[in-house]
Structures are given as structure tokens and as C-alpha cells.
Amino acid sequence: MSEPEQTPKHPRASVVEIIASGRKPTEDGGGSLIVPNEVRINGVSVFTTGSGVKINEFTLGDETVSVNLTLVVRKLVIAADSDLDEEAP
């Protein structure tokens, strides 16, 4: 059996992108506005919509930015890594 990975002393930050996918803003008028329609976490699309993404709150710290996301999930698994190989009943 291999050694378990060491847990980092501090959590690793994620890259969160809230973007207007497929849209390129112009320099003036209504085209200068963007309506985000996709959320990516570490480059993986986790949410897309045709009606826009609502940003409720974000916090600017001294060296960090915190974002709270609310996502509707089809399945939520909370388990140890070793338990993920087993099929749930």
C-alpha cells in the first residue's frame, strides 16, 4: 500500500472564472456590457446558463478574494478518497 499524500499546511487556492462565454464586448454602447453565463473552477466548467450568473457577494481581503457559489448538484459525495472506489448501494 502506498503512503498517503501529505495534507498541505495551507489550503491551495482555486482559480474561479465567472465569464461571458462566446461573447466579445465592444468599446461602447450596449455591446460594452457583459453578462456572465459560465462558471469555471480550475479550468473546468461547472455551471452554464442562458440567463446569466448572479453574483451575490464577494470579499476583497488584503491578499485574497473570497467568492461564495451556490450550485444545484445532481449528486453530492462526502467521503474519504479510499471510499470513492466502492459503488454506493
Query: Is 32 inside a domain boundary?
Result: yes
pLDDT at 6: 60
Question: Containing domain of residue 20, as a range?
Answer: 16-85
Query: Is 41 inside a domain boundary?
Result: yes
Query: Is 8 inside a domain boundary?
Result: no
Q: What is the pLDDT of residues 28-58, one digit of tens each?
A: 777 777 788 888 989 999 888 877 777 777 7
Number of structural domains found in the chain: 1
Query: Is 21 inside a domain boundary?
Result: yes
Query: Is 36 inside a domain boundary?
Result: yes
Query: Is 60 inside a domain boundary?
Result: yes
Q: 3-class secondary structure for 18-70?
A: EECCCCCCCCCHHHHCCCCCEEEECCEEEEECCCCCCCCCEEECCCCEEECCC
d(CA 37, CA 31): 16
Report the side by side order of strands in the sheet with 44-48. Answer: 16-19, 38-41, 44-48
